[in-house]
Structure 1
């Protein structure tokens, strides 16, 4: 599973690294896609050539993610941010309640949108500890007649991630998985709906994946605009209007790359290895580096940390940039440092970062 290394180490939080083999294949096919004499970007979305790309991507996603037959896979636009509105618009009727688990900025944005349609409330919150943990699955207090329970599976800004998901019984569980979808196997059947922007683990920005249980489709609100109705897209195989064809092509090629690596089990093992390289340096630094997330809640996708001596942080980031590390600045709202180690970031990049961090500590202690 050794991957090629480029001239920089890309740790951007999103849009983020893409597999070099996928980019090289896209480059080769850019002008003449599969003998059509046209670029994939020039093909009609009603053509046989594009239809094959579209359906191959859906089929591969279903197989790799072990999506049961009673779910639809949709390719939408508007990013995860539009889902913040589409979900309550579809499932949260006036006077109804929906529970939101508040673990960071994206959960807060989703919560605020839900206020426009019904009565969202907080099932649990980690705000008091600056979102350094994930709530225990047994600590969630929700109502049996809730429209749904919503959570964010991985928090890019604070570097926390759910290790296990709650069983919410008859209450649909909805998850924003934008930053860790396809990073490990999960039991999709636990969820009523999963959504994710593609630009972290699945491909370039511009495509949003929605995995929705068919019974939810059947009981969703139909008195909403056509383009915001999940049924519109489910009935048309996500081809009601012109989809982001190039983005879906790239998504399909990233899925092919995951398949060739050995599937999600192999990807998960590699992600654990990558994160360990960096967390081990943090834990072994004697406090020189300080991780934000508590160990039991640490993300394998976004490793957040600060230097104990804040005056050294700018020096660290400047020297890291000179050494070819891109995207290590923490989110503007919290500062510090962040290494986003998504699927496409190779082991070699994480090893190089761990070695750089060790050298920097030695030279500045």
Structure 2
């Protein structure tokens, strides 16, 4: 029986438990000046609190590999040494608490240049507004009618972004991260290439399944080439665009079948775990939610490929999380909003289920 509180080893890295924190944007970096994309005291306090709460692995918010790869002007980045130095303070503290620090490397593609979610509901910022820019994508298709039409990437542009992912991975290593997660979900750039809904190219990066996954695999190969053999790489996927699950939606998109097929390709290229989420590529997709609603997609990848998976999506209760693991549906759980509500969820779960997680020595009392 696999417990929430047992350690988990990938390559040479041992994660102390199976309670992990999913990437969640904070929209709290400076939008201009030398501090653009640089983690602040807010980011330190936010991540440090979950580490002292016993979380085994913490993955930073989507961290852009280039300025134009941010989803908003307030996102974190990892394209310069100033950002690296600020991250070093965070990773050092997480490690001091026994928590493994992970980073999610991202490029927002056509979803870039938007406001913070609490400001105008994350409305698109046009290129002629302060802090705005023209996004890029696999095709010149805006995310929604209000969004700026992205610039279709040339072959050279695609290869340039692949290099940026590799350079970002090198900086992430220098910053002290031990897990690199490539963001291929939620309608970000890699997902845009994967899905026929958003990728209408007719060159070698579009069309067939093999063409649409080419960019993603090139990014994986580039990151794996610079990431140490002893450390793992994760890939976050949106298992479906939520079209095929709705009999009233006849659009062609990325499907669960595609995800299983793609997982085998990732496994062959040195990806160690798939972080399985869903959706995000179409604003009007009908998503059927409920407790653990994304877990079946993770379970299918695990069962049909043998690739380790982490499950996410409305996992809130300790018993629920424990059952996901003991029934073999996933190898770990990733908590998101529940860890915003309760930074000490892991410690509370351990008390409820008679388990054990690390706690700071400062909290120990004779």
TM-score (norm 1): 0.26
> Relative to total residues, which structure has the larger helix share, 1 or 2?
1
TM-score (norm 2): 0.26
Greater length-normalized contact order (CA 8 Å, ≥ 6 residues apart) = 1
Structure with greater Cα Rg:
1
